[in-house]
């Protein structure tokens, strides 16, 4: 099946710990994105990557880091510098410009305990 | 930056009723998408519709780019239509491919 796979589905983190969320796609898409969703809100962009080995900050990048070493993979690390990390995280991909239709994974729900 | 506003924020329908959800955007867009977020949080693609009209079963969408709005029509609603509907847009001059989301319309369909 072609698609976007996020893991884990649920993640619990202690304060002060870094955690990494996985996002893998087998759609051969060039562009990948990370969004954050808070309860009752829309999605906000954390980081995006248009091509391997390149990525850009989105609107709320502070306290997060990413890498794009392979076309199919775009992991997100939530660092201890992120003050309020409890949220629902969604990964997306698209073919790339000019077609920007995006497809989403099933999400990872992160809770700080 | 671009603003995406959705209305109404909440909508309660009886099964079988029709509804129209609206999305207004503040600048010219080069992409507009409608999504349905299911109870498990997954975003399901409904329409990729930067302009024009599309239909898929009981759902249809129209985007009038020159007037900066899009409409999602749901006919003969079913309980499985419940959830949150988001519109999202990318715009000329923005971060490439960065979708700007509205806050969503929460739809509840009662049996």
Q: What is the pLDDT of residue A99?
A: 63
The rounded distance, in Å, linking the Cα atoms of B106 and A16 is: 35
A33 within 8 A of A48, measured Cβ to Cβ:
yes
| CA triple A33-A5-A65, angle to 5 deg | 40
Q: Distance between CA B101 and CA B32 in Å, rounded?
A: 10
At CB < 8 Å, which residues of chain A contact B? 31, 33, 35, 37, 40-45, 48, 50, 56, 58, 88, 90, 92, 94, 96-98, 100-107, 109
The whole-angstrom separation of Cα B90 and Cα A5 is 24
CA of A106 vs chain B CAs: smallest distance (Å): 5
Q: Which residues of A touch B43 (CB under 8 A)?
A: 90, 104
Q: Which residues pair with B44 in a beta bridge?
A: B36
pLDDT digits (tens, 9 = 90+) for A14-73: 988 999 999 999 999 999 999 999 988 889 999 999 999 999 999 999 999 999 999 999
Interface test with A, best of B99, B103, B104, B105 (most A CBs within 10 A): B99
Across the interface, do A101 and B103 touch by the CB < 8 Å criterion?
Answer: no
Q: Which of B33, B48, B103 sits opposite A41 (nearest CB)?
A: B103
pLDDT of A2 above 80: no
Query: What is the interface size between A and B, counted as CB pairs within 8 Å?
Result: 69
Q: A61: distance to nearest CA of chain B, Å?
A: 14
Sign of CA dihedral A28, A30, A36, A42: negative
User: What is d(CA A65, CA A74) in angstroms, rounded to the nearest whole number?
Assistant: 10
pLDDT at B97: 65
Buried b (16+ CB within 10 A) or exposed e, A82-110: beebebbbbbbbbbeeeebbbbbbbbbbb
- d(Cα B51, Cα B89) in Å, to the nearest integer? 12
**Taking the alpha carbons of A50, A55, A60, A63 in that order, is the dihedral positive or negative?**
positive
Within an 8 Å CB–CB cutoff, is residue B83 touching chain A? no
pLDDT, block means (10 residues), chain B with 111 residues: 91 97 90 93 94 97 95 97 95 71 95 95
CB contact under 8 A, A50 and B98: no
pLDDT, position B93:
64
Helix residue spans in A1-113 (DSSP H): none
Q: Are the C-beta atoms of residues A6 and A74 closer than 8 Å to each other? A: no
- Of B103, B108, B97, B107, nearest to B31 (Cα)? B97
Closest chain A residue to the Cα of B46, Cα to Cα? A103
| pLDDT for B96 | 59
Instruction: Look at residue B1 in the predicted model and tell me its pLDDT.
Output: 72
Distance CA A8, CA B24 (A): 35
């Amino acid at each position: 099946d072609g698609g976007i796979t996020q893991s884990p589905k649920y993640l619990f983190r202690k304060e002060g710990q870094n955690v990494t969320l996985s996002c893998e796609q087998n759609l051969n898409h060039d562009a990948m994105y990370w969004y954050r969703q808070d309860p009752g809100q829309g999605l906000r962009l954390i980081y995006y990557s248009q091509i391997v080995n390149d990525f850009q900050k989105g609107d709320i990048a502070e306290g997060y880091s990413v890498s794009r070493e392979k076309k199919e993979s775009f992991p997100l690390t939530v660092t201890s510098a992120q003050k309020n990390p409890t949220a629902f995280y969604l990964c997306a991909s698209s073919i790339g410009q000019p077609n920007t239709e995006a497809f989403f994974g099933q999400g990872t729900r992160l809770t700080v305990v | 930056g671009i603003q995406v506003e959705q209305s109404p924020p909440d909508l309660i329908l009886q099964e079988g009723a029709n509804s129209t959800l609206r999305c207004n955007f503040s600048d010219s867009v080069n992409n507009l998408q409608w999504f349905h977020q299911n109870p498990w949080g997954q975003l399901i693609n409904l329409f990729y519709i930067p302009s024009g009209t599309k239909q898929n079963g009981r759902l249809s969408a129209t985007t009038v780019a020159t007037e900066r709005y899009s409409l999602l029509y749901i006919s003969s609603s079913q309980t499985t239509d419940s959830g949150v509907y988001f519109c999202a847009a990318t715009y000329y001059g923005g971060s490439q491919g960065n979708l700007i989301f509205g806050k969503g319309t929460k739809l509840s369909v009662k049996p």
